[in-house]
A and B are shown apart, each in its own frame.
Chain A
Amino acid sequence: DAKTTQPNSMESNEEEPVHLPCNHSTISGTDYIHWYRQLPSQGPEYVIHGLTSNVNNRMASLAIAEDRKSSTLILHRATLRDAAVYYCIDPDMRFGAGTRLTVKP
């Protein structure tokens, strides 16, 4: 079983920020935290990864808790195209249930 837990679903309004949480309390000190997202009938798409420091890229930001037991993926301005299932995956590449993000216009 995956070692990550996420809320099943979240909703956001278009153009508003979205914070997607993930608990990974069993992660080791050297394991990176990876986030992917998946649109229907497609393979997962890489979003971001990080180790200890907060990370930013053109898609999102990743805020990692100081104890590394949790992280939050931040979409600064959600668009309709961001509607997807978001996964933080464990270091063994196992997927949990993910969070289904719905973006309302």
Chain B
Amino acid sequence: GAVVSQHPSWVICKSGTSVKIECRSLDFQATTMFWYRQFPKQSLMLMATSNEGSKATYEQGVEKDKFLINHASLTLSTLTVTSAHPEDSSFYICSAGTSGRVNEQFFGPGTRLTVL
């Protein structure tokens, strides 16, 4: 099956700093990527939908100026958490896929962010 990677797999940062998380589709071109966050014992919460070459569409309640998403190529999307605070500590997961009727998505392994 298709492979999606995320980097880094975990990161610890100080409050107020910015953190960039990369999501790559390794063996296919992804026209659409989704970003999620997941708190302990909870389900995945969709943050935004990212289409290559266009601005991301954010879910209601997600601050687009705080969570910057860039989908500059068909194999790479990045999520930057700006001015991170302890409440941003979470498990961030991306998925990548091709648009179309089936809309099959492949998920990355996740990035654990801890803000001190």
Cβ A43 vs Cβ B46 within 8 A? no
Cβ B102 vs Cβ A95 within 8 A? no
Cβ A49 vs Cβ B106 within 8 A? no
Which residue of chain A is the closest to B105 with respect to CB atoms? A93
Main secondary structure of the interface of A (DSSP, over half): loop
Cβ A43 vs Cβ B49 within 8 A? no
Interface residues on B, range: 20 to 34
Interface string of B40-83 (1 = CB under 8 A from A): 00011110010000000000000000000000000000000000
Which residue of chain A is the closest to B94 with respect to CB atoms? A43
Q: How far is the CA of A59 from the CA of B78 in the complex (A)?
A: 32
Minimum CB–CB distance for A3 against chain B, Å: 12
With contacts A93-B34, A95-B44, A95-B46 taken as known, whether A43 is within 8 angstroms of B102 at the C-beta atoms is: no
Q: Counting chain A CB atoms within 10 Å of each CB, which of B43, B49, B106, B107 scores highest?
A: B43
Q: Counting chain B CB atoms within 10 Å of each CB, which of A44, A49, A85, A92 scores highest?
A: A44
- What would 28 A/B residue contacts be, using CB atoms closer than 8 Å? A30-B101, A32-B101, A32-B102, A32-B104, A34-B104, A34-B105, A36-B107, A41-B91, A41-B110, A41-B112, A42-B109, A43-B95, A43-B107, A43-B108, A43-B109, A43-B110, A44-B93, A44-B107, A46-B1, A46-B105, A87-B43, A91-B103, A93-B103, A94-B46, A95-B45, A95-B46, A96-B43, A98-B43
A residues with CB within 8 A of B: 30, 32, 34, 36, 38, 41-46, 49, 85, 87, 91-98
